[in-house]
Structure 1
């Protein structure tokens, strides 16, 4: 039986090269899918990942190798299938963070900006891909729409003029909510599904933001 190796609680990115590696939307999806499988006590092969991220396996090998090279995923086990070695992957850590020093000494302003923007683009692109799949499913499959009626997909954008103290307090509560979501797991024996949670909380520069309020429920009422 395939077994998962011990997983570290945190992986800290300390160099720009590794940051650029995870700033690719497809690689982020790969990490997410492997991590979710690991939470269920499962490993993932390239073939399985190809189905989950809707990408031919032949186009995943390079990305898998890059993630393995930088220590973001690792081979937990291998099997011989039809005379071919099949590798089974797991993540090396439950969470990924970025060392703040990476954006200070020894890094040019342009490099820092490029790295941050690339990571932002990657995160939003991955979220967009998930949302596109959601919309297509709920708009074309009545059974799916009914099943998720009570947990409607939500897109919300808000701007509020608040003090720095209020912002710090809100940020603290938001981080606590994110931790709660990250540590959740379905009760044993109960049907479970993957839910996504993308958070962007930030100061807005400029007195006239493009949109001050947007609230959209994706799942139709009927």
Structure 2
């Protein structure tokens, strides 16, 4: 029986946020976005052992990110085919509206995990591409952008830029095509935030490096 994923999964608690922030689980979810797959199929794409992924699949299923779309008999075993329950994930803004100091460590962990997932995906992609070239696959145009910039903006400028970023994200999401037919999977991560430093005259409470 085929299940059509909904358009949006809303994260409303920190525990659910921690589940999808894990680098491996984030990559599993992304791998299943294009089409339903088994644990072994996803493991092959990620270059990992299938035995290492069962725990992560179970957690993603428990928290509602994925589900078993169908099962099939493979020899003496029943193989599960998983699909996502939603095509996009959004965090409820009220999740981060807690008093200063509350859940600080959880937030730091989520930020680290998100950056780690991007780093691992980028490095794996570069290594897989190099391997493909070594195997004789023809080269393709480079379409990789990696940059970090800092600018001083007024509130009005920041608001306009944020609107453009949100428009770009929407276009990127809506442009998604199914895997196959020569389509290449692309990943996009954007971090736009006000950058602060501790005042030189008041460093009390600054966390240790």
Aligned CA distance change for structure 1 residues 99 and 181 (closer, same or farther; 3 Å): same
Deviation digits for residues 181-216 of structure 1 (CA, Å, limit 9, x no counterpart): 111145998511111111011111139xxxxxxxxx
Contact 1:138 1:145 survives alignment (8 Å): no
Partner of 1:67: 60
Which residue pairs with 1:18 in the alignment? Answer: 16
Q: Distance in 2 between matches of 1:187 and 1:109?
A: 43
Q: Superposition pairs for residues 116-131 of structure 1, below 5 Å?
A: 116-131=107-122
1:179 equivalent in alignment to 2:170? yes
RMSD of aligned Cα (Å): 2.6
Q: Identify the range of structure 1 (77-86 vs 114-123) with the bigger mean alpha-carbon deviation.
A: 114-123
The alpha-carbon deviation at position 137 of structure 1 amounts to 4.7
| Count of residue pairs brought into register by the alignment | 197
Distance change >3 Å, CA 35–CA 138, structure 1 → 2: closer
> 1:98 aligns to what?
91
List alignment gaps of at least 5 residues for structure 2: 199-209
The structure whose residues are more often strand, as a share, is 1
- Residue 70 of structure 2 corresponds to 77
How does 1:105-144 map onto structure 2 within 5 Å?
109-111=101-103, 113-137=104-128, 141=133
2:4 pairs with 6, 31, 48, which one? 6
Match of 2:28 in 1: 30
Gaps of 5+ in 1: 38-42, 208-222
Q: TM-score w.r.t. structure 2 length? A: 0.84
TM-score normalised to the size of structure 1? 0.79
Find the aligned partners of 1:203 and 1:123 in 2 and give their Cα distance: 18
Q: 1:176 to 1:109 in 2, by over 3 A?
A: same
Match of 1:220 in 2: none
